[in-house]
Amino acid sequence: MIRFHGRNTAAWNVKSETASERFKYDYPADELRGWVPKIEQLSSQVRETHVLMNNCYRDFAVRNARELGDMLTLDGAPVFAPVSEGRG
């Protein structure tokens, strides 16, 4: 399991009104791309690989998960199940 929390070091130890402020980090494409070989290597060694986006500020986690999923190619296996429009 790989869990992305974001890299907002300035806010990590600061007490804020909501916990989501700590995870206010929108991963740039280059940073996500740097994880692709690591995730692909890990997935070749285990039965299941779970990658969780915990940068739960606004829609950052959802967008970054989709971006990373589009970058991954894991032996033709689906990276994540697509969510139908209108489902919540």
β-strand partners of 53: 4
Token pair in block for residue 58 = 């606004």
Could you tell me the pTM of the whole model? 0.74
Q: Which residue range is the domain that position 42 belongs to?
A: 2-71
User: What band does 5 get if pLDDT is binned at 50, 70 and 90?
Assistant: confident
Coil, strand or helix at 42 = helix
Q: What is the pLDDT of residue 15?
A: 74
Q: What's the pLDDT tens digit per position in 21-52?
A: 777 899 999 999 999 999 999 988 998 888 99
Q: Is residue 55 part of a domain?
A: yes
Q: Structural domain tally of the chain? A: 1
Q: Answer yes or no: is 88 within a domain.
A: no
Query: What is the rounded CA–CA span in Å between residue 37 and residue 34?
Result: 7
Q: Name the residue with tokens 């740097």.
A: 34
CA 42 to centroid of chain Cα atoms: 15
